[in-house]
Amino acid sequence: MAARAGLKAVASIGVRKSVPRVPSQKTINMATQPKPPRGPFDVHITFLGTASAQPSSTRIHSSLALRLGADIWLFDCGEATQSRLQQSTLKMGKIEKIFITHTHGDHIFGVVPLLAGILNGAGGAADGADEPRKAVDPYNPVIEIYGPLGTRAYVRSCLKYTHTFFSHAYVVHELRLPRDPPTGDYTQLPRNQAEAPFGQNIMQVGGVWENIFQDNAVSVSAGPILHSVPCVGYVVTEAPLPGKMDPAKYIPHLKRTNTPMKVMSELQQGQSVELSDGTILHGPQRRRGRKIAILGDTHNPSGIEKLALDVDLLIHEATNAHLPGIDEGTKLDDTYESVEARTKSRGHSTPQMAGAFAKRIRAKQLILNHFSARYAGNDDVDPEAKVLMDAIAGLAAGEYNKEVLCARDLMSVAVAVPPEEI
């Protein structure tokens, strides 16, 4: 489905220039190299996988691509993510970060195959021939992975036991809970040849992980959300953007004082400029950028509530719904209450729970994902599936009091710059 009103593409005027948290290394390190400034960038989200525990013919496991201009960040990477990427217009080589919400298989099974695809991990050497990939420079990672405790050990173990080598390095930063060990890798296996040695163990401060990544255009924070295993949600916040310029306010002053027009670019950045006659021109106030919350599986996301307040877009799971008369799988003795209790007991949410949370954090838009295999993901072509998915969206909208979208695999939405707040 195409983007609906309110989710239209609007170019921002941000310029990203990397200021990563990872400490600088003596050797060249792509992850720590400042990126050259870039021009305006659009923000798009492509849902690659929208299934919960069981994938189906119409939905693969959880995976979502956030495109910031040319860069791609993945949020979760379930089985067959690489295949879905190949079906999309996204370029795998543009993936620079992968954020894992939790280490359940339906959110992480696709990570190692995807890394192998990006980092030249296929093939091997026979009969004692030299394996050139054993000499990869670990200080030069091209992919950064963030996830809870166990993410690093999972990737390391998969590489060890599948005899996989990479031509380029990766790094894993872990978001650790207060009960987690502050050091160590959660595995006895030594670091492999492609794993950068400076993966951080990031402890919570004030119950959250603020600014786990930050450059001059975007920052990422994370908060704990309740599920059957440790799980996090991520909030991506764009830095304030230049305000709208009214040239008529400035140009007469510049002409009168013979000031070069190039100072308009300083004013555009919100700076003040003093003219030759002493007049001081003030650029427009900067405006807030876009803010997006992407949650993992949860039956209670209140741990991320403060970080996610007033997001422009909330992506929230809605694994199970009570749809009597619409869903043939409805049990005779089911009620909304029994379905909600069962859903919560498995660490998940109903559409109503997602809608209520979206309302509570004053989210401007809500998109649901992570659906039971019972809910087919081809509602763009199958009228029966459309009735079902519209009903799920309706249940959430009843709590949220706004339109709600249900994601399907390969659906893309553009996230607009919020209108200027007066």
Which one of residues 297, 340, 379, 399 is an interface residue with Zn ion (CB under 5 A)?
297
Residue pair 231/304 in contact (Cβ under 8 Å)? The answer is: no
Tokens at residue 384, please? 């029966």
Residue pair 292/417 in contact (Cβ under 8 Å)? The answer is: no
Binding mask 239-278 for Zn ion (x = CB under 5 A): ----------------------------------------
Q: How far is the CB of 16 from Zn ion (least distance, A)?
A: 30
What lies within 8 Å, CB to CB, of 156 at 6+ separation is: 185, 187, 189, 191, 192, 195
CB of 364 or CB of 370, closer to Zn ion? 370
| CA end-to-end distance (rounded Å), the chain | 33
CB of 108 or CB of 415, closer to Zn ion? 108
What lies within 8 Å, CB to CB, of 191 at 6+ separation is: 138, 156, 185, 197
CB of 104 or CB of 168, closer to Zn ion? 104
Distance CA 152, CA 175 (A): 11
User: Which segments within 286-340 are labelled E, that is strand?
Assistant: 291-294, 313-317
- The piece of 238-246, 295-303, 332-340, 395-403 that touches Zn ion (CB under 5 A) is 295-303
Torsion of CA 378, 381, 386, 388, to 10 degrees: -40
Distance CA 419, CA 321 (A): 34
348 binds Zn ion (CB under 5 A): no
- Report DSSP letters for 92-125, one per residue: GGGEEEEE-S---HHHHTTHHHHHHHHTT-----
Q: How far is the CB of 147 from Zn ion (least distance, A)?
A: 13
Helix (H) or strand (E) holding 412: strand 412-414
277 is catalytic: no
- The piece of 128-136, 137-145, 151-159, 292-300 that touches Zn ion (CB under 5 A) is 292-300
CB of 227 or CB of 364, closer to Zn ion? 227
CB of 85 or CB of 295, closer to Zn ion? 295
C-alpha dihedral sign at 43, 100, 94, 210 = positive
Binding mask 75-114 for Zn ion (x = CB under 5 A): -----------------------------x-x--------
**Backbone dihedral angles phi then psi of residue 370, each to the nearest 5 degrees:** 60, 65
Q: How far is the CB of 62 from Zn ion (least distance, A)?
A: 6
- The piece of 87-95, 241-249, 259-267, 293-301 that touches Zn ion (CB under 5 A) is 293-301
What lies within 8 Å, CB to CB, of 337 at 6+ separation is: none
**Which residues, numbered 359-418, are part of the site for Zn ion (CB under 5 A)?**
none
Distance CA 349, CA 315 (A): 12
Residue pair 100/144 in contact (Cβ under 8 Å)? The answer is: no
Residue 174: DSSP 8-state: E
Q: How far is the CB of 180 from Zn ion (least distance, A)?
A: 18
CB of 219 or CB of 369, closer to Zn ion? 369
Q: How far is the CB of 348 from Zn ion (least distance, A)?
A: 8
Active-site position among 106, 297, 312, 409: 106
Q: How far is the CB of 375 from Zn ion (least distance, A)?
A: 14
CB of 60 or CB of 417, closer to Zn ion? 60
Q: How far is the CB of 405 from Zn ion (least distance, A)?
A: 19
How many binding residues for Zn ion (CB under 5 A)?
A: 3
Distance CA 53, CA 47 (A): 16
Binding site for Zn ion (CB under 5 A): 104, 106, 297
Q: Any idea which residues carry the catalytic annotation?
A: 106
